[in-house]
Structure 1
Amino acid sequence: MTDLDELTQSLARNLKRLRLERGLTLDALAARAGISRGMIVQIEQARTNPSVGTVVKIGDALGVSIPTLLDFDQAPAVRFFPPEAAVRLWSTEAGSHSLLLAGTEAPGPLELWHWRFMPGEGSDSDPHPVGTTELLHVTTGVITLTLDGADHTVPAGTSAAFESHVPHGYRNDGAEPAEMTMAVSVPGISR
């Protein structure tokens, strides 16, 4: 079984388990996540590899992190995330990519990411649930953070914190690759 097959199987198992634990029907989860019922059925049956955006919407609707959706093991007191466990969830042919480095539920999903943007590339995100906060730290280059239509320049060595319940995105307008580390904290939902 390939890594992608294992991720697809884990996502299928965890999505169904989490949906049932929360007492959500397929229709209720679809409405909450803003995706079709058919897509949820396909994911639960491991018949599709959904986009990052779809996985994020499902995680937000369930109030869990992406690592929780992709992992089925119970967490020990300390969980280690070796480099080979990082999950690449977004990439372009030019070499831009994101790596999900680690995640936990405390009290809601908390994720740690590494992003790399090649010159001229970027990634947009749909609004997250109200109360979601993102922290980013640019390690190389300059990242342009767009938040609710306004651009903000974040040079290397600078960090930014913002509420991400509005449309937002990141891009590299420079001539060299740019990299950032980002943490995303999503509020827990009542079960």
Structure 2
Amino acid sequence: MAEAITTDLPPELSDIELRLGRRVSELRTARGYTQDRLASETGFTKGYLSKIENSKIIPPIGTLIKIAQALHTDLAELLGTETAERSDAICIVRSWERESVVHGEEAFGYDYVALANKRRHKRMEPFIMVFPNEMAHEMRFDHEGEEFLFVTDGKVEFSFMIDGREQQWILSAGDSLYFDSNIPHRGRSIKGESKALVVIFRPPDQADDAPKRPPLTIFGS
């Protein structure tokens, strides 16, 4: 995953974004990890992780998922969501309880709103995502797990790097996409504001021996 760095952060950071760097540092220390070890586990450089911990940059969701996985936790704990419920088997999040996890200006154009921020220790991370209209061609994201995307508004160009070649699909409202998240990927809006329901799933470790399947499945509306 590219380590795009933005140091001129706007002042209107959410509470979650303001405490993100501190939470990463606290959890890393609690796990007994050095920055060097976390860098080795995630594939990011020590300098990049240092900027995250010192709140010099706000990384995208894919990066946060990789850090959470390396620290054997989930996004709710990593983000320090104060309303998270640790043990309830049922989690209801009212519309007014949604939390903007990362704003588009800091996350390379993507804007994420958490839909299950009150539940911790979950294997699925559901979001509403707003796509940027433009982003650097070399910018792609990858992380362990699987991802489901359902376009609710607009039109999205989704791009993957498969066997060294770029492949693209245009998705309209009502179309859906299921893929292995370790495929380098990115999406951008090509018609006004485009939104999608996104669910990221990380299988348990023992699922590594699961049978092979096609990496991409696309469903039309």
How much does 1:135 deviate?
Answer: 0.6
Task: For residues 126-147 of structure 1, give each alpha carbon's deviation from its aligned partner in whole angstroms, at most 9, with x where no partner exists.
Answer: 2212xx1111111122222222
**Deviation for aligned residue 1:156:** 1.0
> What residue in structure 1 maps to residue 127 of structure 2?
113
The runs of 4+ residues in structure 1 deviating greater than 6 Å are: none
Aligned sequence identity (%): 23
Going by fraction, where is strand more abundant, 1 or 2?
1
Residue 158 (1) aligns with residue 175 (2):
yes
Structure 1 unmatched runs, 5+: none
1-structure distance, mates of 2:200, 2:140: 12
Partner of 1:184: 200
> Could you tell me whether the CA contact under 8 Å between 1:19 and 1:25 is conserved in 2?
yes
Distance 1:143 1:42 in 2: 31
The aligned length equals 180
Displacement after TM superposition at 1:3 (Å): 7.0
Q: Paired residue for 2:93, among 76, 80, 88?
A: 80
Alpha-carbon distance between aligned partners in 2 of 1:97 and 1:126, rounded to the nearest angstrom: 12
1:116 Cα shift? 2.4
**What's the TM-score once normalised by structure 2's chain length?**
0.64
Give the Å deviation of 1:165: 0.7
Q: Distance in 1 between matches of 2:147 and 2:98?
A: 24
Letter in 2 for 1:186: R
Q: What is the aligned-residue RMSD (CA, Å)?
A: 3.3
Contact 1:88 1:98 in 2 (8 A): yes
Tell me the equivalent position of 1:99.
112
The 8 Å contact of residues 73 and 121 in structure 2, kept in 1 or not, is answered as no
User: Equivalent residues in 2 for 1:27-46 (5 A)?
Assistant: 27-44=36-53, 46=54
Deviation of the 1:28 alpha carbon: 0.7
Structure 2: any 5+ residue segments left out of the alignment? 1-10, 207-221
* 2:103 matches 1:89: yes
Larger mean CA deviation between 149-158 and 80-89 belongs to 80-89
